[in-house]
Copies of this chain bind each other. A is one copy, B any other.
Amino acid sequence: MTAERPSLRFQTAPADPADKWEFDDKPREECGVFGVFGSEDASVLTALGLHGLQHRGQEGCGIVSYDGRFHHERYLGLVGDHFSGADMPKRLPGNSAIGHTRYATSGGTILRNVQPLFADLALGGFALAHNGNLTNARDLRERLVEGGAIFQSTSDTECILQLIAKSRKGKVVDRFVEALHQIQGAYALICLTTNMMIAARDPIGIRPLVLGDRDGAPILASETCALDMIGAKFVRSVEPGEVVVISRVNGKAHIESHFPFPRREARPCIFEFVYFARPDSVIDGRSVYAIRKRMGRMLAQETGVEADVVVPVPDSGVPAAMGFAAASGIPYELGIIRNHYVGRTFIQPKQEIRALGVRLKHSANRDVIAGKRVVLVDDSIVRGTTSQKIVQMVREAGAKEVHFRSASPPIKHPDFYGIDMPSVDQLMAAQMTLEEMRKSLGVESLGFLSVDGLYAAMGEEKRNVGNPQFTDHAFTGEYPTPLLDHSTDRSSRDYQLSLLAEEAAE
């Protein structure tokens, strides 16, 4: 295949990333998914649910509803800016709806990669929302294109749609399962057809997916916090490898469960607990908030230090810092204030002034820091760039000593399951020794939670070597699935970028 692909164009040119102040140095979850079956105002509930999943992706969102016809809207931007207003039930009518919120993996976001994807198949319309990432998308795509398929997006998710379109099976569910057998990687999927909602979670349950209920209407969502958002009850987690088929039987929602794969042990992504999930969510039976506080406690036990104040890097470091303070007995103080009004576009011209950049989002609370020995607690260190700036800011505010603590182990390996992580050469812990990192951050001491400490915080006795309970390759290098697309050194993200093609929209 001699692929010739159109280049990327946006009506409003994205700012040169080199000019953009970094506000965060965090890995990013790529998606949240949500669905409602058989409820009045399904699209309104979906909008609220997606709003509850907004932390899983802020750059694009979409909803498909069905009322005898499919209704489809997709936007760049936040859920609340597009899917609100009294006209929602008229714009997106029907008793069933699915939605998606998305973080873009590249410098630019293109609308036609925003989900749910929709296709007008021979068996009828089919909408699909996907959280996760396929590890054999490249091979699938090349094979499908050779077979005459025309892709409308550059996302790996469209492979699933094309496989379903190409299937010769007579029933939609059979086509869907046939497609699942051909894909590899991580997925939590929610689909809407003319008479069903179908959901699936990959065989080892890398990405989360829960089933809820609101007055008899089944709800599907990435996290429980989205159920709380709409006042729905939590029913259970969708199991790894499970296909849930929801249809209407005798006027009521009927839920069937299929397990088309050989059963395997679950291995959910531990990063959901470290950083992604909202603290008020409960994933596979575990409270995210409680685990994060325990991470802080374990961290204090493993890396304790004499100091005057424990200061969280807000907001992600807050629960761990509370745990650290409680375990160490050192007072917890809001030594860094977060500015919530940072727009997306703050770009500044000069090097001298750019040094002030971190303050756009974080300010030192001088009164608490000056003259003190400060323990800074964050959930993780990725590139270390923001951590450096925060340390410097805290020093300039007069800290006597600065000790940095990460509530997760060093991140040394890339991800291929739907997390947007810098490449290995940008991961601080992959490039430096602990002492080099300490110097680079400019702190008196640096400490990370151990992998065992992390598992202990998760409530496990220890990590089962050879068969670990969680997907934890970022820390350990052990990937839970084969990585076909990645025999070479380029990540699936690089692949996707080479396919980017877009037109501008009026």
Contacts and interface: CB of A to CB of B under 8 A. Distances in A.
A506 interface: yes
A348 B47 CA distance: 10
A471 interface: no
Contacts of A52: 339, 359, 363
A169 to B, nearest CB: 12
Contact of A290 (B45, B80, B367): B367
Contacts of A502: 72
Contact of A504 (B5, B75, B84): B75
B69 A5 contact: yes
A249 interface: no
A66 B501 CA distance: 13
Interface stretch (A276-284, A372-380, A483-491): A276-284
A54 interface: yes
Nearest to A70: B6
A59 to B, nearest CB: 10
Q: How many copies does the complex hold?
A: 4
Interface string A38-61: 000100110010011011001000
Nearest to A90: B349
A80 B341 contact: yes
Interface residues on chain A, size class: 35 or more
Given A4-B194, A5-B120, A334 B279 contact: yes
A483 to B, nearest CB: 24
Given A5-B69, A71-B9, A341-B54, A44 B506 contact: no
A77 B341 CA distance: 10
Given A58-B341, A75-B506, A346 B289 contact: no
Interface string A126-152: 000000000000000000011011111
A194 B1 CA distance: 13
A230 interface: yes
A264 to B, nearest CB: 29
A119 interface: yes
A290 B331 CA distance: 14
Contact of A348 (B15, B84, B121, B146): B84
A424 interface: no
A360 interface: yes
A54 to B, nearest CB: 4
A501 B289 contact: no
Contact of A334 (B148, B230, B289): B289
A499 interface: yes
A5 B41 contact: no
Given A124-B2, A347-B84, A349-B88, A366 B505 contact: no
A280 B51 contact: no
- Which of A84, A166, A318 has most B Cβ within 10 Å? A84
Contacts of A3: 120, 124-125
A429 interface: no
Contact of A48 (B152, B231, B353): B353
A225 interface: yes
A167 B150 CA distance: 12
B228 A86 contact: no
Contacts of A356: 48, 229-231
Interface in A1-22: 1-7, 9, 15, 19
A313 to B, nearest CB: 15
B341 A501 contact: no
A398 to B, nearest CB: 11
Nearest to A228: B363
A148 B165 contact: yes
Nearest to A58: B341
Contacts of A193: 4
A359 B55 contact: no
A365 interface: yes
Contact of A6 (B7, B71, B148): B71
A161 B114 CA distance: 23
A118 interface: yes
A195 to B, nearest CB: 9
26 contacts: A2-B123, A2-B124, A4-B70, A4-B120, A4-B194, A7-B72, A48-B348, A48-B360, A52-B363, A72-B502, A75-B506, A79-B343, A85-B348, A87-B349, A88-B348, A119-B150, A148-B167, A150-B152, A228-B366, A231-B356, A278-B337, A279-B337, A282-B366, A289-B334, A289-B367, A340-B340
